[in-house]
Structure 1
Amino acid sequence: MAPTKVAVLDDYKGHAKAYFDTLDPAAFEVVYFPETLLPYNHASTSQEEKDKVVARLEPFTVISTMRERTPFPSAVIDRLPNLKLLLTTGNRNLGLDLEGFKKHNIPVVTSVDRGGPPVAGPDSTTQHFVTLLLAAARNVAMDDLSVKTGGWQTGLPPFGLVGKTYASVGLGRLGAATAKLLHQAFNMKVIAWSENLTQAKADEQAAALGLEKGTFTAVSRETLFREADVLAIHVVLSDRSRGLVTKKDLALMKQDSIFINTSRGPIVVEEDLLDVLRRGAINRAALDVFDVEPLPKDSPWRTTNWGGADGSSQVLLTPHMGYGERFTMEKWYETQVENLLKWSREEELPNRLA
């Protein structure tokens, strides 16, 4: 009997190989695809590029995917007659059309975090968010480049955080976690807005984190952007939140402010944000997420020309690394292999999404 063909997609840093290579090669033929193709369902993807996605995936019985790096809309699922199992990671994967998998009776099994550091503390995404904020505020990337290339003190002066206003679009788990940390560490005033946020809900979030009532203040959308010294995106991408932040919102922000997005790129209208940064209307931005990931080689983000003619604005970019700690990634892939073996033995599959 021929071995089961397994595709491991989009493992940029090679975490998966140590686990999938333990599989019996007589039973499983594993192929690794570390480079992501353009998303099948993105507006800019041509039919030729869509066909490339299908051609890559069509031969495989099992596919391992990492979060939303390769989306699986129903149009892709319908074109994969050999697919019998989809392995994913995290508590959710909004890139998967779960109804499409159910229609074809394809199990979708996820890997969730198993254990972690022995003491409680901020999670990986919160740590990355704070790293970006401090690096943007203190001009770390620009100063590093200046020193390495013969310069000294160049660019914008450091931006102090103490006592400033932290404005969060969304006050869920990550929004509240970053707000607590910044309030306690830098005595920042915390304001927040989302479509369903009330002061009562803001107080509940504060109380759940051991903070006093009124620590988080629910404000109007206009007030949030107008008063922000640091503006952060902390809502989940959905049909409702796609394109939520527009040029109208960004136009309200102070020039001497910091814009940060570690959630998802499409929550912000990309062209509107690019325009603001090209004009230097906002001095600092730090982004971990983008509309299309990985960034195409010709992406307008791949430039150092910001802030108009004087290049005064500073834009800090990282390649969607918020959740990418080694421990988490390795545990996810270890669990994927365990789930693959359970499937092959026709055992019950834990943590099924579909």
Structure 2
Amino acid sequence: MKVAVLDDYLGVARDCADWSRLPPGATLHVFREPLTGEDAQAAALAGFDVVVAMRERTAFPATLLARLPDLRLLVTTGMRNAAIDLDACRRQGVTVCGTGAVGAPAAELTWALILALLKRVPEEDRALREGRWQTGLTRTVEGLRLGVVGLGKLGTQVARVGRAFGMDVVAWSPRLTAERAEAGGARLVDKPTLFSSADVVTLHLVLGEGTRGVVGAAELGAMKRSAYLVNTSRAGLVDEEALLSALREERIAGAGLDVFSSEPLPVGHPLTTLPNTVLTPHLGYATRENFAVYYREALEDILAWSGGQPVRALGAR
């Protein structure tokens, strides 16, 4: 058995699970750097029976799967991966399994970004190191309006923290009801009201055909000049060019972003040149605790599959 672990940017995969438990004769190859482009991916993964994918860092469309005839098991960290063509896997006889996760670290990171923006943490840290003291006023969180777009598990956690800070929490999503909003610690408003009145807009929707580009020029144009946008969900929810324009022209106060249309974010990307952004490299799920579960359960998936009894199998879409 040949096992590939992809996109181990931090070099922690070997330490997060006891890979010596792989079946006798099995080999393990860990890819630290991203495989860019389908030709490179097909060449690098040729001959592997098992591939362990880290979230959606590497996509597995039908075209790539067709070039991997030896692939028999594809493990994804987490129990959902929109970058894997599950129907193509089923047709090709590739079993797809997932793993569990720990807590809601993306909700925690959301608050790290919100507070960094409102409290000017990056600017004041940089100024202090350069010998300058108190370069700008910060915002008081209490009394501000928090607009939560998507009130599922993560959005609900973010909303509850907002209420604990004394914020006025409102929410909207395409199918959100007033009852569900209240249960999640928010008040339902329509989309225009949320974007035009919130001091902080935070996104927590699943990316799909109905939500791609849900934040475009119109929504950004409706926001207050003093308002901030935070996205720890998926980059495709936001029209990136419209966001760049709004930030450059200071039509919104700033943005806190953990997700990008191209990852890893290329050196010199326009977002990195703007002073009104706080950027993190898709850290929402990258916690010590999460990775321990990811790789431990990925190994369990491999062992169960090799024994003829797959666990945590994902069905075709």
| Shorter-chain TM-score range | over 0.9
Q: 1:302 aligns with which of 272, 277, 287?
A: 272
- Please tell me whether residue 324 in structure 1 is matched to residue 286 in structure 2: yes
Q: Decide which moves more: 187-196 or 223-232.
A: 187-196
Number of corresponding residues: 314
1:28 is matched with 26
Q: Give the letter aligned to residue 202 of structure 1.
A: A
Q: Does 1:351 align with 2:312?
A: yes
Stretch of structure 1 that moved more, 335-344 or 172-181: 335-344
- Could you tell me whether the CA contact under 8 Å between 1:71 and 1:96 is conserved in 2? yes
Preserved CA contact (<8 Å) 2:22 2:303: no
Aligned partners of 2:110, 2:183: CA distance in 1, in Å? 23
TM-score, normalised via structure 1 length:
0.84
Aligned equivalent of 2:175 = 196
In the alignment, does 2:262 pair up with 1:292?
yes
User: Could you tell me how far 1:235 is from its partner in structure 2?
Assistant: 0.6
User: Which residue of 1 is the match for residue 73 of structure 2?
Assistant: 85
DSSP 3-state at the match of 1:6? strand
Residue 232 of structure 1 aligns to a residue in which SS?
A: strand
Q: Does structure 2 retain, via aligned residues, the 8 Å contact 1:15–1:333?
A: no
Alignment of 1:212-251 (within 5 A): 216-251=186-221
CA contact (8 A) 2:305 2:311 kept: no
**Paired residue type of 2:6:** L
* 2:290 aligned partner, one-letter code: T
Is the counterpart of residue 147 in structure 1 residue 135 in structure 2?
no
Does the CA contact (< 8 Å) of 2:54 and 2:77 recur in 1?
A: yes
SS at 1:75's partner residue? helix
Letter aligned with residue 74 of structure 2:
L
Which letter maps to 1:194? S
Among 97, 113, 120, the residue aligned to 1:132 = 113
Equivalent positions of 1:71-220 (< 5 A) are: 71-113=59-101, 123-154=104-135, 156-184=136-164, 186-206=165-185, 216-220=186-190
Structure-2 separation of matches of 1:24 and 1:37: 24
* Deviant stretches of 4+, over 4 Å: 23-26
Percent of aligned positions that are identical: 38
Q: Distance in 1 between matches of 2:196 and 2:120?
A: 23
RMSD: 1.7
Instruction: Give distance in 2, aligned partners of 1:189 and 1:260.
Output: 17
Whether 2:84 is the aligned partner of 1:63: answer no
C-alpha contact (below 8 Å) 2:5/2:53 kept by paired residues:
yes
Residue number in structure 2 paired with 1:335? 297
CA distance in 2, matches of 1:343, 1:281: 53
For 1:262-290, what per-residue CA distance to the aligned partner results, in whole angstroms no more than 9, with x for missing partners? Answer: 11011101111111111111112111111
Tell me the alpha carbon deviations over residues 223-267 of structure 1, each in whole angstroms, 9 at most, x when there is no partner. Answer: 111001011111111121111110110011111112100110111
Which letter maps to 1:103? R
